[in-house]
Amino acid sequence: MPSDEHRAPGPSPQTADAIELLRRVPYGRLATSMRALPFLAVARHVVCDGRILLRMHSGFGYHEACDGSVVTYGADNYNAATAGEGGDDLWSVQFTGPAEIVHPCPEQAGLFGTAPARANGEPFAPAYLRVDPHFVTEHTLGFGASPLVRHAA
């Protein structure tokens, strides 16, 4: 594997393809461990400068557990099959790398759109993480010309 001095600038083609897929959905799942136990947390994401910015509720403390740790963030379009959006292949992407708490500029924060009013009954208070993807995994399920067939009961 080439050293950093010899690596071409910018994301690899695989990373660029996975990031393009990530741009198609607004939410995904953050995976890491907290007190030696694995957990998943839903987060809103945007892509800025080849890095993934996440917005989550600060009241859960998940962002603090992730700060400085290696995490995995994944998203998919699997709900498209149940939502009747046939025709597209199903895909999932996962990005693994270090996460850090960030304070986005107003323009970056605006990319997330409207925040939820509440999270588990309490006012939503945003916390932001940046994930620098070091490893990228992409999986697809190709259905080709075979539409999803639903049978009436």
Give residue-wise pLDDT tens across range 100-119.
Answer: 999 999 999 999 999 999 99
What span, in angstroms and rounded, lies between the C-alpha atoms of 99 and 87? 35
- C-beta of residue 41 within 8 angstroms of C-beta of residue 98: no
What span, in angstroms and rounded, lies between the C-alpha atoms of 71 and 59? 19
Q: Is 149 helix (H, G, I), strand (E, B) or coil?
A: coil
Q: What is the pLDDT of residues 48-105, one digit of tens each?
A: 888 899 999 999 889 999 999 999 999 999 887 655 555 568 899 999 999 999 999 9
- Residue 71 CB-density burial (10 A; 0-12 exposed, 13-18 middle, 19+ buried): buried
